[in-house]
Amino acid sequence: MHNNFSKEDFYSVKKLFKHSNVILTQSSKVKLFEKKWSKWLGVKYSTFVNSGSSANFITISLLEHLKYFNKKKNEIIVPALTWSSDIISVIKNNYKPIFVDIDLANLSMNENEVMKKVNKKTLAVFITHAQGFCGFSEKLIKFLKQKKIMLIEDVCESHGATLQNKKLGTFGEISNFSFYYAHHMSTIEGGMICTNDKSIYELSRVLRSHGLAREMENVNKKKIIIKNNPDLSPNFIFLYPGFNMRNNEIGGVLGISQLKRLDNNVKLRKKNFQYFLENIDEKKYFINFKLDGNSNYAFPIILKKKSLKNRKIFEDILLKNNIEFRRGNAGGGNQLRQPYLKKYLNSTKPYEMKNTEHVHFFGYYIGNYPTLKKNKIKHICEILNNIPLED
């Protein structure tokens, strides 16, 4: 990412500090950003938190408090290629992650594998829309509805991506976004939990703030809770086990400012990605991506040949030319190979995820951002195309 904060962003923060007795902890600007974000996305409710990881954790934490929760359902289907916090949120809330391989065309879960692994223990499918790609089709959405399986969307890398002209993050019961510095828009650190379900929204607000009942907007329900706990101070009733995952007024102000140019930035990112694909050598690199509705986050580069020798040549040349890259794409590649998961895995083996394994060892991404110029993209492609990879 480059220049993700504008003069307008800095001015909006400066303007905040001009107020006397300024409140910087969560207050009116956070609330305003939540309303504007909900309107932009097309949902009823949004809860602003301190990171996308916190959004993930709160989302999985609140599942046990929902009225249609079933204790017999303890499995959540997840992709093998995703950010670690998605998986950690599942295991730390005492659910079992069921891994599926990805589709190379969109770096998201293989839909056929998802449908095969749904069973009577399946509580939810937690899908990651990786790197700006749309991660599912109407076929999967319809299937999950018929099976009454909850759909949770991780849209942290895919702000503004769509399916049939409808924004991702509006299909599932809950969706999560990240506003980390390198993402489509930034609040320095930050995330959002989005839903059309009032009960989910209320729970997300409570869990965001230590589990405090006072965070609920439902006045009548709050009165009942206070009445049922006469020995407690009304402002300090810890209804559920929670943490402080709130954001602040600076983050809210930045979010409001950045949201104004998000749509245009998505258009620029998509144009950059298209130009990148038009100029990269398809004999050396995989380019058959599903582009419908994408809002590109970064340029994915997947070496076609499985060769460690080619990989070393590739990485050495990128380093020599000061081209920053990430091997393994999202979150360090195949999560099944990460140390934190070792004690939670039984029979599932990393090599069973064939496409994820290929991306883990021979997949990369390099940066894309709105102000990236065509001549620079072309220069990068020339470097990539001239790398002497063996057939």
Q: What is the pLDDT of residues 72-97, one digit of tens each?
A: 999 999 999 999 999 999 999 999 99
Residue 198 belongs to domain with CATH number: 3.40.640.10
Residue 240 within any structural domain of the chain: yes
Start-to-end CA distance of the chain, whole Å, equals 33
Residue 347 has pLDDT above 80, yes or no: no
* Per-residue pLDDT at 152: 98
pLDDT of residue 265: 96
Is residue 62 domain-shared with residue 191, that is, in the same domain? yes
Distance CA 27, CA 167 (A): 28
Could you tell me the pLDDT band of residue 390, with boundaries at 50, 70 and 90? confident
Phi, psi of 327 (to 5 degrees): -85, 145
- Give domain status of residue 198, yes or no: yes
pLDDT of residue 331 exceeding 80, the answer is no
pLDDT above 90 as % of the chain:
92
Residues 29, 80, single domain; the answer is yes
- pLDDT for the residue numbered 69: 82
pTM of the full structure: 0.96
Locate 251 and state its tokens.
């983050």
Quick check: is 53 in a domain?
yes
Q: What is the pLDDT of residues 26-61, one digit of tens each?
A: 999 999 999 999 999 999 999 999 999 999 999 999
The total of other beta-carbon atoms located within 10 Å of residue 28's CB is 10
Domain end (from 259, 279, 304): 259
DSSP 344: G
Statement to judge: residues 16 and 158 lie in one domain:
yes
The domain boundary residue, chosen from 213, 235, 259: 259
pLDDT tens digits, residue range 159-206? 999 999 999 999 999 999 999 998 999 999 999 999 999 999 999 999
Q: Is residue 327 part of a domain?
A: yes
Would you tell me how many other CB atoms lie within 10 Å of the CB of residue 206? 23
Assess whether pLDDT exceeds 90 at residue 332: no
pLDDT at 343 over 90: no
Is the same domain home to 255 and 275?
Answer: no
Residue 2 lies in a domain: no
pLDDT at 344 (0 to 100): 85
Mean pLDDT value across residues 304-331: 94
Bridge-based pairing state of the strands 108-109 and 102-103 = antiparallel
Residues 6+ apart with CB under 8 A from 6: 257, 261
Is the CB of residue 256 less than 8 Å from the CB of residue 33? yes
Pairing state between β 174-178 and 150-154: parallel
Do 47 and 137 reside in the same domain of the chain?
A: yes
Number of domains, the chain: 2
379 lies in a domain? yes
Same domain, 172 and 192: yes
- Flag whether pLDDT at 346 surpasses 80: no
Shared domain check, 68 and 149: yes
Same domain, 282 and 192: no
Q: Which of 213, 240, 259 delimits the end of a domain?
A: 259
Dist. CA 372–CA 377, nearest whole Å: 7
- Residue 300: CATH number of its domain: 3.90.1150.10
Q: Kindly indicate the confidence band of residue 345, based on its pLDDT and cuts at 50, 70 and 90.
A: confident
Mutual orientation of helices 262-279 and 374-385 as an angle, nearest 10°? 30
pLDDT in tens, 102-148: 999 999 999 999 999 999 999 999 999 999 999 999 999 999 999 99
Tell me what pLDDT residue 70 has.
Answer: 87
Asked whether residue 269 falls in the same domain as residue 171, the answer is no
Same domain, 156 and 301: no
Beta strands 75-79; 122-128: pairing state: parallel
Give the domain extent around 289: 262-385
184 shares its domain with 272: no
**What pLDDT does 8 receive?**
96
Q: How far is CA 235 from CA 81, 202, 215, 219, 232, in A?
A: 42, 16, 9, 13, 8
pLDDT, tens digit, 9 for 90 and up, residues 159-168: 999 999 999 9
Residues 269 and 229 in one domain: no
Q: If you search the block for the tokens 């939810």, which residue do you land on? A: 124
**Predicted confidence (pLDDT) per residue in 271-286, tens digit:** 999 999 999 999 999 9
Instruction: For residue 390, tell me if it sits in a domain.
Output: no
Could you tell me if residue 166 is inside a domain?
yes
Q: Tell the residue number behind the tokens 């070393």, with chain if given.
A: 312
CA dist., res. 302 & res. 359, Å (int): 7
